């Protein structure tokens, strides 16, 4: 599975990690819907850190289509309201 973190590049992540990432994604959707800004920031960081620590970064010279695009870690809470809705970025 190829995941792009906006502004940080692409990572090849084992598909077996999808369920764990989806749980975090769903939690972010819930936090955003409850207007919980503090925990939102922590969970977004956790999501990005998990991708980076478990994935292999793809060289920028390679052109590979991303399966999932994750917003940058500095995504504002207001911007998150447009992205983390419904099923989130990891579709169930």
For residues 7-27, give the mean pLDDT: 96
What residues does 68 pair with on adjacent strands?
A: 3
Look at strands 9-12 and 56-57 and give their pairing: antiparallel
Residues of the chain with pLDDT > 90, as a percent, come to 96
The answer to whether 28 and 88 are in contact (CB under 8 A) is yes
- Predicted local distance difference test score (pLDDT) of residue 12: 97
The model's pLDDT over 25-69, given as tens digits with 9 standing for 90+, comes to 999 999 999 999 999 999 999 999 999 999 999 998 998 999 999
Task: Record the pTM.
Answer: 0.93
- Predicted local distance difference test score (pLDDT) of residue 91: 85
Distance of CA 58 to the CA centre of its chain: 16
- Predicted local distance difference test score (pLDDT) of residue 63: 87
CB atoms closer than 10 angstroms to residue 89: 19
The answer to whether 64 and 10 are in contact (CB under 8 A) is yes
Show me where the domains of the chain are located: 2-83
The answer to whether 2 and 58 are in contact (CB under 8 A) is yes
């Amino acid at each position: 599975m190829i995941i792009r973190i906006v502004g940080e590049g692409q990572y090849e992540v084992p598909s077996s990690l999808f369920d764990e990432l989806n749980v975090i994604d769903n939690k972010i959707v819930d936090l955003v819907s409850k207007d919980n800004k503090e925990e939102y920031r922590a969970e977004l960081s956790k999501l990005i850190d998990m991708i980076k620590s478990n994935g292999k970064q793809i060289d920028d010279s390679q052109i590979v289509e991303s399966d999932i695009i994750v917003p940058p870690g500095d995504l504002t809470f207001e911007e998150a309201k447009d992205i983390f809705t419904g099923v989130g970025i990891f579709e169930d």
